[in-house]
Chains A and B, each alone.
Chain A
């Protein structure tokens, strides 16, 4: 049984349909990439999985439990954690408080001190800047806080929405290395990216979203060699 099983969901913004009959699975221990251009519905899909949007049809199962009927905070409680696009840090709170809030849910809160130590071990720079307001950090550091904040929630499945957005090439590599490390430590990762080359190279499988539909899916290596992906996304 898959850890995350999405069956034929439709999502609307008002009257406009953004996601059409979309199905997708993520197995335990996998890294799965969702790639696609602007407006393909990637972020909408993640917002739907985490309960910020409700699908008009279809169902979302996590660990065999239905998620599409639950509130965002209940979905977090189940271990499905979403690191949103654009980082969305609590700008006027300190780095440490941002991380502690990440562990707000009942399951994770008793483990906040240990998890905080783990996050600082992973990102030593955050420990140096623990007392600083989040808005004073550089883009790369902010992304580290965003990922760290997601880890504080003790995810079973971590969904990352464009972690490389707006970062310098060197930092992008660092962020992807971190994502790979998180996966190697045993967390299942669902990665949404526009940086197709990087995200596919660290993933097990991938889905290509176009106009709110799954246009292609398969093994990450095979997708990289696919002529359509090469011309449309890799520019080769």
Chain B
């Protein structure tokens, strides 16, 4: 086959994969700090997409400017979600490090949010309008690169770098890392565990909001739009290593590449089998993932 098409697919795979990685980044942060699995993460993405959609529809803002509204709104949403829904479970099961009940609660949140969206907005597929990025392409020789996906890639890299800097260099970032490593010891440093949980959950949700803004110019918005991303995020997070930031990005790119290159060689439905096959292989042979820490805290 033509090499140029392959190159095109590789670029596409990396760009789309980085956006998957961005969604997974929020999930991996929440897991890293709270040690809980947030099944509602895809629904947070959906909420973020609706928020972005309505902001753009009502104000006519450029979608990327809407980012500066969507991210804080989603941060607040996540912060309150942890404060009022997740925290009570930690309090009720205070002897358990990773209360399993949280999985049931976050699954419940997922169903409630998805159906609430269905109730409020109906099942329609909505395309962003006005959408200044629609169909925009950059041409480099014979290769076409989708502009919004390229921006998505850039925003992902900036978000990950910003998160890294925040975690490594700020007072709050150090407190978050300390809490994720040893909650009791962090308490003895004067760090409020609940505050950290709220902030970490808020940041994780805000990252879902950033991913939503990145997706909204290229993806339709509908009530269950989060589900495929939710499932992919789990595969990515396990692949890259639970709690690992580079792992989430690399895992995303791997999935993106499989999805974009795969269909050249086989029916596209087979790519899913490869993705989940890889998932199983990682669980068998390297359960801590590509970048996961072997040391538990």
A residues at B contact (CB < 8 Å): 50-52, 71-73, 76-77, 81-84, 88-93, 97, 100-102, 104-106, 108-109, 135, 149, 153
Contact = CB atoms under 8 A, between A and B. Distances in A.
Interface in B189-225: 189-192
B189 A105 contact: yes
B190 A52 contact: no
Given A76-B188, A81-B188, 14 more contacts: A50-B188, A73-B190, A76-B190, A84-B185, A90-B185, A92-B177, A93-B174, A101-B178, A104-B174, A104-B175, A104-B191, A106-B190, A108-B190, A109-B171
B136 interface: no
Interface string B157-201: 000000000000001001101100110111111111000000000
Contacts of A89: 185
Contact of B191 (A50, A73, A83, A100): A73
23 contacts: A51-B187, A52-B184, A72-B188, A73-B192, A76-B189, A82-B188, A84-B184, A88-B184, A90-B182, A90-B185, A93-B177, A93-B181, A97-B177, A101-B178, A101-B189, A104-B178, A104-B190, A105-B189, A108-B190, A109-B171, A149-B189, A153-B189, A153-B190
B196 to A, nearest CB: 10
Contacts of A105: 189-190
A73 B182 contact: no
A51 B190 CA distance: 11
B293 interface: yes
Given A92-B293, A92-B295, A135-B295, A72 B178 contact: no
Contacts of A83: 188
A86 to B, nearest CB: 10
A109 B191 CA distance: 12
Given A90-B181, A92-B181, A135-B295, A101 B188 contact: no
Contacts of A51: 187
B297 interface: yes
Contacts of B192: 71, 73
Size class of the contact patch on chain B: 10 to 19
A162 to B, nearest CB: 15
A91 B295 contact: yes
A91 B297 contact: yes
B91 to A, nearest CB: 13
A166 to B, nearest CB: 17
A104 B184 contact: no
Closest A-B pairs by Cβ, 7 of them: A76-B190, A105-B190, A72-B187, A88-B185, A90-B181, A73-B192, A73-B190
A234 B127 CA distance: 80
Contacts of A91: 181, 295, 297
A52 B187 contact: yes
B188 A84 contact: yes
A95 B58 CA distance: 51
A100 B190 CA distance: 12
Nearest to B293: A92
Contacts of A135: 295
Contacts of B178: 90, 93, 101, 104
A92 B187 CA distance: 17
